[in-house]
Amino acid sequence: MMPHRPHGSGRSHDPLSDLTFVRGRGTEVFDSHGGRYLDFIGGYSACVLGHCHPRLVQAATEQMSRLSFAHAAQSHERMALESAITECVMRDCPDAKVWMTTSGARGVELAWKIASAVRPGGILRFDLAYHGRSLATASISDTPRVNAFYLPSGHVRILPFPIVPPHEEGSLERRCEEILCQAQDMLCQSHREISMLLIEPAIGSRGYYFAPPWFCKRLADLAHAFGVLVVSDEVQMGLGRLGEWSVAMADGWQPDLVVLGKSLGGGILSMGAVMGQAEWMDALPEGIESETYAAMPLACRIGCEVIRILEHEDLVGRAGIQGTKFRSRLRKLLPESLSIVGRGWATAIGFESYGNNGSKMAREWVFDLSKAGLLVHLTGPARDRLALIPPLNVSCDDVQEALEILEHKSLSC
Ligand SMILES: Cc1ncc(COP(=O)(O)O)c(C=O)c1O
């Protein structure tokens, strides 16, 4: 008999919520009726190497039978992971330090604690961005079901994310300039009450929008001029998904802190990490942050192995090239009425041109594609986009099969 779950614990809005998965290997997952699917959702980036990667399973098994937990989380595995992360992600920051957390949301919260230790204050953040559903991060995420009611509203100021909504006039460049002016005004008026500027430069959960690098750079410079710490939330899109270890560094701007998550745990366990130069990372006094399971040897060993595999197989470098190739093949298969956007191995198919009907159509596509064996997820503020984020080691055969399923669906419309 199926256990009854609390109503709010499921995802009743998710067209795939009826599926029960029992097994996974690489890009494939199998449901309890033996149905096979190509998983192009992959835990929204968590399964960066697919399901049950043999090297991750081996490393986890070996570590679990040797030392899974260490008091105060001191271990060789922790040191190894911290060095691996700083070498990949913080190449330009020689004195960088890393702090491990148990999730992306906890990473964002820790970043805020660090920023507040440097200078107490609230958050300047963007609409559209998603930073988690813990009490603090739900208050600063664009989640219509939650809304910003947990934190006192004076703690949070919101800037619009730079996009030009469908059917609206104007260039993205102009929009960016307007937002920069707005940011300047906000900072002029209340910079003493703001400790961090939080930006998700590549919007993941809320629809795959990418802020222009020049915009992020100017905004970061502006925040720095007012003494506000800049935090880049790369929980979903960092660590290789977009073809770079760090979105911000690749785009040529320098946040003070970067938050990673999801991929770091290789789909095996939840993990997050905050990193930045020692000056900021050391600002947090003792006793303000700790989590029992953060940086446990098991987690760190898995994180190390994820980074090793990504490096060894050049999966980060290849993500940029392969993702671009995928989108150009997709463009040839799908009707012009559907938009295709993306970067690296993060692609969205948009139904914006169908107006109010777009979200219904997108939902139907998610459902029909799953029936045909391809898992994609609904995204976007209007839930009229399909997101495709396969593992970075997805095989050519699996990509070909996914394209055929998508083509078949589009021809049947
Ligand atoms: C950009 C971003 N930040 C933070 C989070 C929260 O991460 P977690 O679910 O591990 O708490 C997410 C999760 O989707 C995310 O996409």
Cβ proximity of 300 and 272 under 8 Å: no
> What's the predicted TM-score (pTM) here?
0.95
Give the pLDDT score at 17: 78
Give residue 234 CA to ligand 1 midpoint distance, Å.
9
Tokens 């045909």 locate to 372
pLDDT exceeds 80 at position 10: no
pLDDT tens digits along 255-270: 999 999 999 999 999 9
pLDDT exceeds 70 at position 144: no
pLDDT exceeds 60 at position 394: yes
pLDDT exceeds 60 at position 55: yes
109 phi-psi bin (left φ>0, alpha ψ -120 to 50, beta other): alpha
Residues with CB under 6 A from ligand 1: 44, 103-105, 108, 130-132, 200, 204-205, 233, 235-236, 261, 270
- CA-closest residue to ligand 1 atom 16: 236
Largest CA distance in the chain: 61
> To which H or E segment does residue 99 belong?
strand 96-101
- CA-closest residue to ligand 1 atom 7: 104
Give residue 222 CA to ligand 1 midpoint distance, Å.
26
Give the pLDDT score at 73: 67
Average pLDDT, the chain: 93
For residues 52-61, give the mean pLDDT: 98
Q: Six-digit token pair at 349?
A: 């198919």
Give residue 26 CA to ligand 1 midpoint distance, Å.
22
Give residue 269 CA to ligand 1 midpoint distance, Å.
14
- CA-closest residue to ligand 1 atom 8: 104
Give residue 133 CA to ligand 1 midpoint distance, Å.
8
**What are the backbone angles phi and psi of residue 237, rounded to the nearest 5°?**
-100, -10
Ligand 1 atom closest to Cα of 262? 10
Cβ proximity of 229 and 115 under 8 Å: yes
Cβ proximity of 349 and 386 under 8 Å: yes
Instruction: Name the residue of 232, 236, 260, 389 to mutate for ligand 1: max ligand atoms within 8 A of Cβ.
Output: 236
**What are the backbone angles phi and psi of residue 386, rounded to the nearest 5°?**
-105, 130
Give the pLDDT score at 37: 97
pLDDT tens digits along 164-198: 877 777 899 999 999 999 999 999 999 999 999 99
Instruction: Name the residue of 130, 133, 231, 274 to mutate for ligand 1: max ligand atoms within 8 A of Cβ.
Output: 130
Ligand 1 atom closest to Cα of 272? 10
Q: Six-digit token pair at 407?
A: 């083509």
pLDDT tens digits along 188-237: 999 999 999 999 999 999 999 999 999 999 999 999 999 999 999 999 99
For residues 67-87, give the mean pLDDT: 91
Give residue 169 CA to ligand 1 midpoint distance, Å.
32
Give residue 138 CA to ligand 1 midpoint distance, Å.
10
Give residue 7 CA to ligand 1 midpoint distance, Å.
22
Ligand 1 atom closest to Cα of 200? 1
Q: At 228, is the secondary structure helix, strand, or coil?
A: coil
Using 50, 70 and 90 to split pLDDT, how confident is the model at 406?
A: very high
Distance separating alpha carbons of residues 48 and 120, to the nearest angstrom: 36
Give residue 362 CA to ligand 1 midpoint distance, Å.
23
Q: Six-digit token pair at 248?
A: 């911000």
- The domains located in the chain, with CATH, are 7-53+314-411 (3.90.1150.10), 57-312 (3.40.640.10)
Give the pLDDT score at 152: 65
